[in-house]
Amino acid sequence: MKLQDETQVEEILQRLRRAEGQIGGIIRMIESGRDCNDVVTQLAAVSRALDRAGFKLVACAMRQSIAGEAAGAPPSLGVEQMEKLFLSLA
């Protein structure tokens, strides 16, 4: 399913770009010998950011599927597919 809500897509991309920057920072931290606690804290932050981007992506796809179904189109995502997407992020 291709996401059609440009606002939602931009929000997801913004989250991913932020996470990309955080990962670059983590790499530099490790290369410069920073304390393990600091590195792990940043890893946890980027992990949460990626999780949020994933959940936002799934929620957007669900809304799009529901809206399409309400307009008379067949659902683009079945219940099993939606469940599988959510569980893949768990």
Q: Tens digit of pLDDT for each residue in 28-46?
A: 999 999 999 999 999 999 9
Asked if residues 23 and 46 have their Cβ atoms less than 8 Å apart, the reply is yes
| Domain over 6-88 is classified CATH 1.10.10.10 | no
Q: Is the pLDDT of residue 1 over 70?
A: no
Residue 12: both structure tokens together:
């997801």
- Helix ranges (H only) for the chain are 6-31, 36-70, 79-88
- Quick: pLDDT tens for 48-83: 999 999 999 888 888 888 887 777 877 777 778 888
pTM as predicted: 0.78
Cα 3 → chain centroid: 13
Give the pLDDT score at 58.
Answer: 87
The arithmetic mean of pLDDT across residues 3-25, rounded, is 90
Q: Where in the chain are the domains? A: 6-88
Rounded Cα distance between 31 and 33, Å, is 5
